[in-house]
Amino acid sequence: MADIVLQDPVPMKKTREGFGHALVDLGESDPRVVVMVGDLTESTMVSFFAEKFPERFFEIGIAEQNMASIAAGLAAMGKVPFFATYGAFASCRSADQIRVSIAYSNLPVKIGGAHGGISVGPDGATHQAMEEFAIIRSIPNMSLVVPCDYWEARKATRAAAALPGPVYIRFGREDVPVVTDESTPFTFGKGEVFGAGTDVTVIACGVMLYEALRARAAMAAKGVSVRVVNLHTIKPLDRAIIVQAARETGAIVTAEEHQVNGGLGGAVAEVLVQEFPVPVEMVAVHDRFGQSGKPAELMAAFGLKEPDVVKAIERVLARKAAHANA
């Protein structure tokens, strides 16, 4: 596909709104779709579905473990259940229920984890989910997708409903840049090149895709050709696009709004060390809890902005050059 061009000014919209709108699309097209929520109807934006399909909407209250296992029972009876809560609770509080009731049974339960990442802001560390990738991708049968913007969230949610197994979909809280549009290709499990390049590749997911695209433009001004890959699906992982990027550009930067432990960077590195080792730098939160603050200041303080991606590119290029000279 053609390179993604960022609009100026870039429009802003919430990924969770894409989730909410997709649920309405699904409610209209598939009578098996049911939605549950744990006392967060407005903020997970399942309210749109609840208004339109009240008979297929279940408020479960503050009981995430119960909600996850209920979803398994609904799915075993032929429904396509979604449940939504904050990612911190969806992934950590109900991890055992996801593992045993849902994933071991391989039932088509779809989990909407809102409020992922440091950009959750003032609520602080408890509500800034940054461990979901590690938890969810370690559980067999689970799929994991991290949409980059409103449109991708909407497409990913619809795609998740069509899959035969369980899927975790990660959303953020804030308005984030809209980098795609309704017609941008989206295939579950397939990465997409959002910007061509030959010197180095940035593999990003979620809001970090926007930062990667900005870093690409900044590096172009310095004469460096940066490829940007949108790797929205962290599991199953598109190994081919990762290996191809390593082979063709010789250096990889990963960028995610998540702990460095067990996240996108780790997933990419697992592929590369086995198939085509090249230098890798990881832009992520480095093994620390978040804190209260404004989203933008937190993203900067935790090293998740365009300049951090630029620095990582420069570091990995230096390592690539050192390799070549060795």
Distance CA(82)–CA(204), nearest Å, equals: 26
> Do 168 and 142 form a contact (C-beta atoms < 8 A)?
yes
Contact between 261 and another protein per CB under 8 A: no
Q: Which is nearer to another protein, 93 or 232 (CB)?
A: 93
CB of 177 to another protein, least distance (A): 38
Q: Tokens standing for 11?
A: 């429009």
CB of 72 to another protein, least distance (A): 5
Contact between 56 and another protein per CB under 8 A: yes
CB of 11 to another protein, least distance (A): 38
Q: Segment near another protein (CB under 8 A), from 98-106, 126-134, 248-256, 260-268?
A: 98-106
Amino acid at 97: Q
Choose which of 23, 40, 50, 72 interacts with another protein (CB under 8 A).
Answer: 72
Q: Which is nearer to another protein, 82 or 150 (CB)?
A: 82
Q: Which is nearer to another protein, 63 or 217 (CB)?
A: 63
Residue 45: how many CA atoms within 13 Å on its side-chain side? 24
Choose which of 19, 48, 49, 58 interacts with another protein (CB under 8 A).
Answer: 58
Of all residues in the chain, what percent are helix, strand and coil, respectively (each to 5)? 45, 20, 35
**Catalytic (active-site) positions:** 64
Residues in CB range of 80: below 8 A, 6 or more apart: 26, 30, 32, 33, 34, 108, 110, 161
Residue 190: phi, psi to the nearest 5? -120, 130
* Residue that has been written with the tokens 């609904």 in this structure: 74
Distance CA(188)–CA(183), nearest Å, equals: 15
Contact between 77 and another protein per CB under 8 A: yes
Contact between 297 and another protein per CB under 8 A: no
CB of 70 to another protein, least distance (A): 4
CB atoms within 10 A of CB 10: 14
> Do 237 and 267 form a contact (C-beta atoms < 8 A)?
yes
Contact between 101 and another protein per CB under 8 A: yes
Choose which of 47, 105, 244, 261 interacts with another protein (CB under 8 A).
Answer: 105
Q: Which is nearer to another protein, 21 or 79 (CB)?
A: 79
Pair type for strands 167-170 and 143-145: parallel
CB of 84 to another protein, least distance (A): 16
Contact between 75 and another protein per CB under 8 A: yes
Contact between 2 and another protein per CB under 8 A: no
Q: Which is nearer to another protein, 66 or 244 (CB)?
A: 66
Q: Tokens standing for 8?
A: 């100026």
Choose which of 43, 47, 106, 291 interacts with another protein (CB under 8 A).
Answer: 106
Contact between 68 and another protein per CB under 8 A: yes
Burial 83-114 (b: 16+ CB within 10 A, else e): bbbbbbbbbebbbebbbebbbebebbbbbbbb
Pair type for strands 280-285 and 252-259: parallel
Contact between 165 and another protein per CB under 8 A: no
Choose which of 24, 33, 37, 70 interacts with another protein (CB under 8 A).
Answer: 70
Chain residues that interact with another protein, rule: CB under 8 A: 34, 55-56, 58, 60-61, 63, 65-79, 81, 96-97, 99-101, 104-107
